[in-house]
Structure 1
Amino acid sequence: MAAATAEATAEATAEAKATMVVGIDESDHSFYALQWILGHFFSGAGAGGAFRLVVVHAKPTATSAVGLAGPGAADVLPFVESDLKRSAARVIEKAKELCKLVNDTVYEVVEGDARNVLCEAVEKYHADVLAVGSHGYGAIKRAVLGSVSDYCTHHAHCTVMIVKKPKHKH
């Protein structure tokens, strides 16, 4: 009976914690954002505080990475998929190393467009906060590539925090 009570208490504690989803990719901006979040929300005793941390990496599909290429494109897809899997594994390993002192962390790699993947993660984990890094693209590049942070601010059903990497003075 004591084990059931302890389990119920652990579940209630997990539910009482707010959930923060952090979107990461292979960029320096992304890892700066993760480090900033860790330093401001997950430092100190117990390294977890009031938040449960969910780190999400959106892995592009091989076909989206290759694009609509001509004949022979299908031949390279297995190689592209293999590279994307290795890249995703590196991203998650780097995140795990940064988050090693945080007690309550979930890591997830989801195939798809980052905008949709992050908004779906917010729903799946009932997130209170979504944090993303800002790549600092200009207006033209942002218009062509689309801004993940802009999309998420309009479509995620929670508070969205955009962490900008400061420009270094030379």
Structure 2
Amino acid sequence: MAESAKPLMLVAIDDSEHSFYALEWTLDHFFVDGSSHLFRLTIIHARASPSSALGVAGVGSGDFLNSLISDMKKSAARTVEKAKEYCTKRKVENVQVEVMEGDPRNVMPEAVDKHRAALLVLGSHGYGAVKRAVLGSVSDFCAHHANCSVMIVKRPTNKPAAK
């Protein structure tokens, strides 16, 4: 199958170990060395907008805003580089990586539509009901609003050995 005819898989990442576990799991299960991949792969990182950070911190000086924007761009660049390293380590090539600005709840469904993705992969932070209610769940939101199938990869919990 020609590369351009393959369906597109989007993997959402942030700087958390949960999202990188989801990326690693996806690479190990869908993009195994030497096999013919069923999907094209695009990795999406949702970088918070400076205005959302300022909403929490309050209005600052121009220098503060410039510093904040610079720090956010550096953080996004580190996250993207780490994702590229995961792909390189597993010999997965032709991966597109994109940084989009905004709340991940909005960015991921927009990215699905923009790229006409067939599948969106997200990591689960494993929040309990109370924390999820307060913070919201990106994966839950995307499962209800993305115009494609959504796969939520959960990191296994270390269970004590059976006696």
TM-score scaled by length of structure 2: 0.89
Residue type of the alignment partner of 2:29:
H
Query: Percent identity at matched positions?
Result: 56
Alignment of 1:144 with 2:134, yes or no, is: yes
Is the contact between residue 56 and residue 108 of structure 1 (CA under 8 Å) also seen in structure 2? yes
Is the contact between residue 54 and residue 60 of structure 2 (CA under 8 Å) also seen in structure 1? no
SS at match of 1:109: strand
Pick which of 135-144 and 23-32 moved more: 135-144
The residue aligned with 1:88 is 76
Q: CA deviation at 1:58?
A: 0.3
TM-score scaled by length of structure 1: 0.86
Unpaired segments ≥5 residues, structure 1: 1-11
SS at match of 2:133: helix
Is the contact between residue 66 and residue 73 of structure 1 (CA under 8 Å) also seen in structure 2? no
The residue aligned with 1:153 is 143
Structure showing greater Rg: 1
Q: Cα RMSD between the aligned structures?
A: 1.7
Unpaired segments ≥5 residues, structure 2: none
Q: CA deviation at 1:120?
A: 1.0
The residue aligned with 2:103 is 113
SS at match of 1:99: helix
CA distance in 2 between partners of 1:70 and 1:132 (Å): 31
Pick which of 32-41 and 120-129 moved more: 120-129
Q: Residues 142 and 19 (structure 1 numbering): CA distance in 2 closer, same or farther, change over 3 Å?
A: same
